[in-house]
Structure 1
Amino acid sequence: MSEHDSNLFTEPELSNPFQESSVTQERQTPAMATGLEEFNPFTDSKLMASKPPAAAPGVPTQPAIMKPTEEPPVYSQPRAQESTGGAGELLRRQEELERKAAELDRREREMRSLSASGGRRNNWPPLPEKFPVGPCFYHDITVDIPVEYQKTVKIMYYLWMFHTGTLLANLVGSVAWFGVDPSRGADFGLAVLWFLLFTPCSFVCWYRPVYGAFKSDSSFRFFLFFFVYVCQLGVYVLQSVGIPGWGACGWISALMCLNTNVATGVLMVLVAALFTALAVMSLVMFKKVHSMYRTTGASFQKAQQELATGVMSNKTVQAAAASATSRAAQGQFKERI
């Protein structure tokens, strides 16, 4: 009976499956040494070894860029050209709209200035209010001149100011030369005359015509400017040459003065350089104004018409013509009687 009463589950043949050698080897891992509660599969050395190395901090990474290995199809190029042409057309229209807006803004400022002052008042030259002589001209480039011509007119105004400063420097150089060489009294006197004469005459004879030409698109004023400015350019060339006795501290006079006094000669060399720079810049601006004149549609026929219209609209000319006509009519009436 004892053989039949024995427990079958305690037989040595039916051993525990977890006691197998392979399972026991796997259980004897570092996880068993630290306990099952602290085991982290993500810190396993095998898993860590299989992970790719992380990028070092601070090293910039760039996305992969695929370069085309062949040219785009032919049918896509005309579309790109059409899109480029459309963008250029839009930019051109935008520039035109901005130019028109600036022109309207200029006219609005002009109307405001007129309404605020009750009419245009002369503001140039800027003299004090207590001065016995008042301003002679109205000068405002941002109001009178269209936007596309304002830069050119400003350069011409700065060129006139440079012209005035050069004449003043020429006067100083002539005074220094006269102090070194008393026989140069004629040069000193002519330098004073050129400064007093050419400063206002240059403003009236060539700056105001180009100012009015761009203001009202006047062909007659353009031709007047070209005629006077060519003469002025010739004067600049003669002054830069510096012929002794002509009142200009040009190159010849400066080299002559270097033999007498070095300091005065150096001063006159600087004045000669100013005259040369003035001649070069005047030639450049003459070409620029002439190129802009050709785009305005002005012509010699329009200049003749403007001259005839201006002469006939003059009240003095009208009064003289009326008196001459009345006298001629009275003479013919007396002859018939």
Structure 2
Amino acid sequence: MSAYDSNPFADPVDVNPFQDASVTQATSGGNENVGEFNPFSAPDMGHHSGTTIPISAVSSQPAILQTSVEHSAKATATAAQADLLKQQEELERKAAELDRKEQELKNRTAGRANNGTKENNWPPLPSFSPVKPCFYQDFEEEIPEDYRRICKRMYYLWMFHCATLFLNVLACLAYFTVDSQNGVDFGLSILWFILFTPVSFVCWYRPVYKAFRSDSSFSFFFFFFVFFFQTAVYIIQTVGIPRWGNR
């Protein structure tokens, strides 16, 4: 009955649940640990710099490649492209040259198959001429590339020799018109022109042409012998001996 003796309208006892001994010990220990921890204390930040970098000091612009590096890369790419184009042009030129030579060889082979022999092409006479060419001459086909230049020079030397003989005829003719007693020189100059022009072609130009074409030692020997003899004759004529048909 004692429980019914209490006054239900009396003020309740003010009980603080946090005054329990276990709760008080836990809260007091946590406050001490929290009070001792300082994230901005000097020991914890000893390895950081004390200087603060303002945000405005940091560049907000994007990273840009230096101009010199760009120019160097562009120059290298341009040079490489130009080199490739040059090599390509060189290869195309060589390919075209090979195709041309191959076509010429096929044409020559076909012509030989039809005719059986090479068709003479020298001297270059018109088609209506009753006299036909007597020799076949082709530097590009018959003469090796190493000797082609000097062989052409020998051909030009022969042409110069013929032109000199013709000019000698004109000089003797002019001298004959002044003095009729020089008819012998004029007649001999015509003979030298008619004789030495074909003889020089057959006796020293054709041998040297054959020597370069087939690398013949006999042709070289024959050329040097005849050419030396003719050079000696011309040296004597340059002295100006009368009645020799030279002026």
Distance 1:116 1:191, change over 3 A: same
In structure 2, what is the Cα distance between the partners aligned to 1:222 and 1:107? 31
Match of residue 198 from structure 2: 200
Cα offset, 1:110, TM superposition: 4.3
In structure 1, what is the Cα distance between the partners aligned to 2:183 and 2:130? 33
The answer to whether structure 1 residue 114 and structure 2 residue 109 are counterparts is yes
User: 2:183 is aligned with what amino acid?
Assistant: G
In structure 2, what is the Cα distance between the partners aligned to 1:149 and 1:106? 18
The answer to whether structure 1 residue 143 and structure 2 residue 141 are counterparts is yes
Match of residue 165 from structure 2: 167
Query: 1:221-232 maps to which residues of 2 (within 5 A)?
Result: 221-232=219-230
CA deviations 1:94-152 (Å, max 9, x no partner) are xxxx9xxx899768734532324634100000111121111000011111100000000
Match of residue 177 from structure 1: 175
Cα offset, 1:243, TM superposition: 1.2
Cα offset, 1:180, TM superposition: 0.7
Match of residue 75 from structure 1: none
Match of residue 131 from structure 1: 129
In structure 1, what is the Cα distance between the partners aligned to 2:193 and 2:173? 13
In structure 2, what is the Cα distance between the partners aligned to 1:110 and 1:196? 37
The answer to whether structure 1 residue 186 and structure 2 residue 184 are counterparts is yes
In structure 1, what is the Cα distance between the partners aligned to 2:166 and 2:142? 30
CA deviations 1:261-307 (Å, max 9, x no partner) are xxxxxxxxxxxxxxxxxxxxxxxxxxxxxxxxxxxxxxxxxxxxxxx
**Structure with greater helix percent:** 1
Cα offset, 1:239, TM superposition: 2.4
- Say which SS state the counterpart of residue 195 (structure 1) adopts: helix
Q: TM-score, normalised by structure 2?
A: 0.56
Query: 1:239-278 maps to which residues of 2 (within 5 A)?
Result: 239-249=237-247
In structure 2, what is the Cα distance between the partners aligned to 1:221 and 1:203? 14
Extract unaligned runs of 5+ from structure 1: 1-97, 250-337
User: 1:197 is aligned with what amino acid?
Assistant: L
Extract unaligned runs of 5+ from structure 2: 1-93
User: 1:145 is aligned with what amino acid?
Assistant: I
In structure 2, what is the Cα distance between the partners aligned to 1:150 and 1:248? 34
| Equivalent position to 1:211, from 209, 212, 220 | 209
Distance 1:110 1:231, change over 3 A: farther
In structure 2, what is the Cα distance between the partners aligned to 1:106 and 1:238? 47
| Equivalent position to 2:154, from 149, 153, 156 | 156
User: 1:114 is aligned with what amino acid?
Assistant: T
In structure 2, what is the Cα distance between the partners aligned to 1:106 and 1:197? 39
In structure 1, what is the Cα distance between the partners aligned to 2:102 and 2:213? 12
User: 1:204 is aligned with what amino acid?
Assistant: V
Cα offset, 1:190, TM superposition: 0.3
Cα offset, 1:191, TM superposition: 0.1
Cα offset, 1:229, TM superposition: 0.5
User: What RMSD, in angstroms, separates the aligned Cα atoms of the two structures?
Assistant: 2.4
- Say which SS state the counterpart of residue 139 (structure 1) adopts: coil
Verify the 8 A CA contact 1:114 1:120 in the aligned structure 2.
Answer: no
Match of residue 235 from structure 1: 233
- Say which SS state the counterpart of residue 131 (structure 1) adopts: coil
User: 2:109 is aligned with what amino acid?
Assistant: L
